[in-house]
Amino acid sequence: MNWAEVLGAVEAMYAQKRDELNALDAALGDGDHGTALHTAFKEIAARAPELAQARPAEILKAAALTLMNRMGGSSGALYGTLFLRASVEVKDLDRLTGEDMARMWEAGLEGVMQRGGAQVGDKTMVDALAPAVIAFRDSISQGRPAAEAYEAAAAAARFGAVKTSELVAKHGRAKFVGQRALGQIDAGAASTALLFEALRNYWREKGG
Amino acid sequence: MNWAEVLGAVEAMYAQKRDELNALDAALGDGDHGTALHTAFKEIAARAPELAQARPAEILKAAALTLMNRMGGSSGALYGTLFLRASVEVKDLDRLTGEDMARMWEAGLEGVMQRGGAQVGDKTMVDALAPAVIAFRDSISQGRPAAEAYEAAAAAARFGAVKTSELVAKHGRAKFVGQRALGQIDAGAASTALLFEALRNYWREKGG
Amino acid sequence: MSARHKKLINQPENIVREMLEGFARAYPSIVRLTDAGLIVRAQPKGAGRVGLVIGNGSGHEPAMIGFVGAGLMDVNVPGEIFSAPGPERIVEGIRLAERGGGVLLCVSHHAGDRMNAEMALELCAAEGLSGVEMVLLYDDISSAPKGQEAERRGTAGLFFTWKMLGAYAETGASLPQCKALAEKVRDATRTLAVALTPGTNPISGQVMFALAEDEIEIGMGVHGEVGQGRQKLQDADATIDAMLPPILADLPFRAGDEALVFINNSGSMTQMELFILYRRVAQRLDAAGIGVYGAWIGAYATTQEMAGFALSLCRVDDELKRLWDAPARGAYFVR
Amino acid sequence: MSARHKKLINQPENIVREMLEGFARAYPSIVRLTDAGLIVRAQPKGAGRVGLVIGNGSGHEPAMIGFVGAGLMDVNVPGEIFSAPGPERIVEGIRLAERGGGVLLCVSHHAGDRMNAEMALELCAAEGLSGVEMVLLYDDISSAPKGQEAERRGTAGLFFTWKMLGAYAETGASLPQCKALAEKVRDATRTLAVALTPGTNPISGQVMFALAEDEIEIGMGVHGEVGQGRQKLQDADATIDAMLPPILADLPFRAGDEALVFINNSGSMTQMELFILYRRVAQRLDAAGIGVYGAWIGAYATTQEMAGFALSLCRVDDELKRLWDAPARGAYFVR
Ligand SMILES: Nc1ncnc2c1ncn2[C@@H]1O[C@H](COP(=O)(O)OP(=O)(O)O)[C@@H](O)[C@H]1O
Ligand SMILES: Nc1ncnc2c1ncn2[C@@H]1O[C@H](COP(=O)(O)OP(=O)(O)O)[C@@H](O)[C@H]1O
Ligand SMILES: [Mg+2]
Ligand SMILES: [Mg+2]
Ligand SMILES: [Mg+2]
Ligand SMILES: [Mg+2]
């Protein structure tokens, strides 16, 4: 697979779901999550041609820097950290195996949790990211192909995102709405679920 | 007649018409004309006991100073000038004849026109005051009693006030609404008409 | 409409007095509140200097109370909300400003202010108080056509006179010189304002005017007086492109001139908008060959929480530049 | 609701860049805008002194761009509207502020600002840029209970740190000393805010929160973050009577203490209201035996045109008094 294409697929997903993510963020935060993510991924996708021949780690790093430096805010830092740590983990590899990707996402998750200080249950993107990464790792450790591992990861992320509606937030702007957050899905958890849905769709199509 | 009582009658009139005057002023100005006038006259009326034995000129001067200094704004200056010039004209008199009052109101009118620079037809209180003063003077010069002169003055003032609705303002805040003033009665003209109505009612009751 | 009816005040009838008390308590090293409710300099200016007094309706804060101080005004006589103070209070202000050099009574041209100032001068004459002069200040090009400048209203652009006259009086200039300088600044200043949304009168709670959601009014006065008419809301650049040419044409400002530029926030404009507007002003002045000697952007003469702004230019020569640069220490203007 | 949807801007995506251009053009003797969109002092501070950098989301103007200048900050790194700048830009700011004495990165405590600052420090370390420290600033007592001060948000009360730390760095204090001083001011400051009506996001046009016509929210954050809950609108005195005791109890401020008092306008409050509110603060502090060393009232850290205010107190000793009184020359803070 081509990671420039993968990120293009993520961009397409966010293009479609931008307003939905904004609406989720508006309920608990400042309503910009979809636009912020989509704008960053548009910029990443625009650089796809020049990165077409690059190693996965370079492509992931370019995405990370755009997320960090152009998206800004909390989620720019968090998504940036996710991709940056992922990139460091697979540095110098020309092609990523399922095992490589499992380590890569584990490193990304660790970075996000360290950066943001959020645990599972705090109603953040971690509530989607942690189950996704764990499901991915389990599938790979059981010898499944990456495409199947992404099926499991996407399902787990979606489930984790939906479950955030039962939680009260401990981080991000949503922290400041207190009990009012009950019944609302966290925007960052939703966008992480969409990220893994885009990855799943890509692997479904391209196999691997 | 007792001028402290006269001013009390004016206060009662403005108490009743305050909101109406505010509404007229709101259409073309800042909506405070009724409140401003009534507040000033309440203060004047409150001083009635201490002024009960004073000469007319002293009572009129006290009213003038309250209007000038407590009411403020354009109409404080104009009504203040009206009563101040009136007071100067009848200085030292113990009792005012019809002729005294005719001179007194003429002096007041002159003061208002000089102070504000408005002519008849400029859509201001002068449009009520000038006809009232002229009607009063005519009646007195024809040998009528003051009560009758006030009947004529009040009718003339009312007519002049109503006619301001056909005019475009050249002074005061109403000047800045331009053609929009058409169809609206000027608040200051209306309050002057009410002043002469209060005087008329007083003389009707108390004779003189 | 987006008028704000929620205000944090106490009894409306005490609004001016309580405001002045709070203001004076906040800046005791700069101003003092007299029993009669006048704002005077905490440290009077040097003996023999010309005293500067200005009266005005309240509701425009920080004007003019915030412009009392060293290098600025000596006394401000606040009236009730949007209503000129009466003559007795103005005379009291003149007395307080007298330091042996005479007193210049500055009048922002509004009918009520002019009439009350004239009565105050008559009272001064009657009481034998001599050495008192009055100067009428105006700047708003929308309130009367060119050629009838003396009919115009005083608005935010008077800021330049407060500053420069304040500096000039500190130099020991005589009363006639001070009056001439005030007229010079006035005659070099032109202002045009625009309103987006109304303020509310804090006492009556009444909205000061109505504007449709997509309308603005160019030329709106500081009490909501109607200007040149309503226009559709445009973007920031187009708004400046509509406002600047009449200002430049009126003086006229010409290529090679140097000017001070002032953008006054009428109340609830964001600084962000004002900076974006100023950016266009600077671009247009560059294109017109007019130099910017200095710029000043902020809320100095408000109309409660009205959203809108006034754009004001003052052409400066060496004398005015020196006066603009001179130190000043008011509660709301430090230089 | 009384939100203002009419804004005088151009293309929303250019809003921050155009604002910065306008700002920098207006105050060229004080600040300079870099190609990367950073605001830096026009005249760098003396060699060997500690450089002071602060980043923040835009939309709070004049904060922090207006606090760059002599005796204040050296560099401000503006982010997009209400969004922290990314680490690369912060590193750029750190580079620009370096004068040989190291750099203190000041962070107004919000998750995004903290995370991006931490990443910036990691980048500095990776690039071998040494002598860079970070200090987290917070003041809002409504955002976390006493005992968990380090969880609190940074709001308007950071004003005191900008001013005093700015003055301190000019004295030649070392980087560890500067950091300790910033913490000292922070730990002596307590703030509580109240919101009456919302601002609108200038890009999305979205109203930031909803409040009923007779409701206020005590503890509302500078981005509309929920505070301690809604209350019925009361008069000015009652509002202060509700806000001041928790502020005093939190530090606590005690009889005999001296404090600076700051009332920050969130956007469209009138100065009149703020003075009336301050009057009550002064009365209550008198009664509590707390001395007011100085007061400051104005719009310094806004949330667009939100109506509301923050009340902030800083307990001062002789060192902090000296730093408060020291000269400062930013575009929006002159002392
Ligand atoms: N400390 C944190 N740890 C993990 N995720 C966080 C944290 N803070 C915020 N988030 C995530 O970021 C999302 C908000 O992102 P976004 O709207 O882009 O940022 P901002 O709040 O700066 O506008 C939240 O929904 C939440 O999932
Ligand atoms: N120059 C003037 N000459 C005569 N009357 C005037 C003049 N200016 C204003 N007025 C009168 O004053 C009235 C407004 O009074 P008021 O509302 O009390 O004052 P303000 O305009 O200061 O609020 C107008 O309706 C008009 O009749
Ligand atoms: Mg958000
Ligand atoms: Mg009126
Ligand atoms: Mg009035
Ligand atoms: Mg955001």
Distance CA A172, CA D24 (A): 32
pLDDT confidence of residue D227: 78
Mean pLDDT of D152-170: 97
D45 inside domain: yes
Mean pLDDT of A141-151: 97
D300 inside domain: yes
Mean pLDDT of C162-173: 98
Query: Which residues in A lie closer than 8 A to residue D116 (C-beta atoms)?
Result: 68, 72-73, 76-77
C335 inside domain: no
Contact yes or no for C92/C77 (Cβ under 8 A): yes
Quick: pLDDT tens for C33-83: 999 999 999 999 999 999 999 999 999 999 999 999 999 999 999 999 998
C253 inside domain: yes
For residue A208, is pLDDT > 60?
Answer: no
CATH of the domain at D167: 3.40.50.10440
Mean pLDDT of C186-206: 93
Report the relative pairing of strands C258-265 and C291-298 from DSSP bridges.
parallel
Task: Decide: B171 in ligand 2 pocket, CB within 6 A.
Answer: yes
Mean pLDDT of D79-108: 96
From C89, C206, C226, residue closest to B178, measured CB to CB:
C226
Q: Are residues D158 and D40 in the same domain?
A: yes
Mean pLDDT of C310-319: 98
pLDDT confidence of residue D1: 40
Domains belonging to chain A, first-starting first, are 3-206 (1.25.40.340)
Distance from CA of A171 to the nearest CA of D (A): 8
- Nearest-CA residue for atom 9 of ligand 2: B172
Let me know if B159 is exposed, middle or buried by CB neighbors in 10 A (0-12, 13-18, 19+). Answer: middle
Interface contact C119-B77, CB threshold 8 A: yes
Q: Which range has the worst mean pLDDT, B27-36, C170-179, C293-302?
A: B27-36
Mean pLDDT of C117-122: 94
Mean pLDDT of B179-190: 91
Distance from CA of A77 to the nearest CA of D (A): 6
Total domains, chain C: 2
For chain A, give the mean pLDDT.
Answer: 94
Q: Are residues C180 and C217 in the same domain?
A: no
pLDDT-derived band at A38, boundaries 50, 70, 90? very high
Q: Are residues C132 and C244 in the same domain?
A: no
Chains A and B lie in contact, requiring 3 or more CB pairs less than 8 Å apart:
no
Interface contact C85-B72, CB threshold 8 A: yes
Task: Decide: B125 in ligand 2 pocket, CB within 6 A.
Answer: yes
Q: Are residues C162 and C293 in the same domain?
A: no
D263 inside domain: yes
Quick: pLDDT tens for A156-205: 999 999 999 999 888 877 777 778 788 999 999 999 999 999 999 999 99
**Phi (first) and psi of residue C38, to 5 degrees:** -100, 150
Contact yes or no for A32/A173 (Cβ under 8 A): no
Distance from CA of D64 to the nearest CA of A (A): 17
For residue D274, is pLDDT > 70?
Answer: yes
Q: Are residues C99 and C175 in the same domain?
A: yes
For residue D297, is pLDDT > 50?
Answer: yes
Interface contact A71-D86, CB threshold 8 A: yes
Q: Does D282 touch chain C (CB under 8 A)?
A: yes
Distance CA C290, CA C188 (A): 14
Interface contact D270-C235, CB threshold 8 A: no
Report the relative pairing of strands C51-58 and C75-81 from DSSP bridges.
parallel
Mean pLDDT of D49-77: 98
- Which DSSP letter does residue D61 get? T
From C57, C86, C227, residue closest to B70, measured CB to CB:
C86
Interface contact D88-A115, CB threshold 8 A: no
D12 inside domain: yes
**Phi (first) and psi of residue C79, to 5 degrees:** -95, -170
- SS3 labels along C296-326: EEECCCCECEEEEEEEEEEECCHHHHHHHHC
Which positions of D are catalytic? 60, 223
Quick: pLDDT tens for C128-154: 999 999 999 999 999 999 999 999 999
pLDDT-derived band at D47, boundaries 50, 70, 90? very high
- The pTM score is 0.92
CB atoms within 10 A of CB B27: 17
Q: Are residues C130 and C89 in the same domain?
A: yes
Quote the percentage of chain C above a pLDDT of 70.
Answer: 99
What is the span of the domain harbouring residue D177? 3-187+325-330
C223 is catalytic: yes
- Nearest-CA residue for atom 2 of ligand 2: B116
User: Whose structure tokens read 């399902």?
Assistant: A155
pLDDT-derived band at C229, boundaries 50, 70, 90? confident
Chains B and D lie in contact, requiring 3 or more CB pairs less than 8 Å apart:
no
Q: Are residues D173 and D213 in the same domain?
A: no
Q: Are residues D208 and D171 in the same domain?
A: no
> Longest Cα pair distance anywhere in chain C, in angstroms?
56
C252 inside domain: yes
Task: Please tell me whether residue D106 adopts helix, strand or coil conformation.
Answer: strand
Q: Are residues D108 and D133 in the same domain?
A: yes
Task: Decide: B33 in ligand 2 pocket, CB within 6 A.
Answer: yes
Contact yes or no for C267/C2 (Cβ under 8 A): no
Quick: pLDDT tens for B59-110: 999 999 999 998 878 899 999 999 999 999 999 999 999 999 999 999 999 9
CATH of the domain at D194: 3.30.1180.20
Q: H or E stretch including D134?
A: strand D132-137
Quick: pLDDT tens for D306-335: 999 999 999 999 999 999 999 999 999 999
Q: Who wins on pLDDT, A184 or A70?
A: A184
From D3, D292, D302, residue closest to C2, measured CB to CB:
D3
ipTM: 0.90
> Longest Cα pair distance anywhere in chain A, in angstroms?
49
D335 inside domain: no
pLDDT confidence of residue B208: 56
Q: Are residues D175 and D197 in the same domain?
A: no
Q: Are residues C151 and C210 in the same domain?
A: no
pLDDT confidence of residue B13: 98
Strand partners, D260: D294, D314
pLDDT confidence of residue C1: 40
C contact chains, 3+ CB pairs < 8 A: B, D
Task: Decide: A56 in ligand 1 pocket, CB within 6 A.
Answer: no
Quick: pLDDT tens for C259-292: 999 999 999 999 999 999 999 999 999 999 999 9
Quote the percentage of chain D above a pLDDT of 70.
Answer: 99
CB atoms within 10 A of CB A163: 18
Q: Are residues C204 and C245 in the same domain?
A: yes
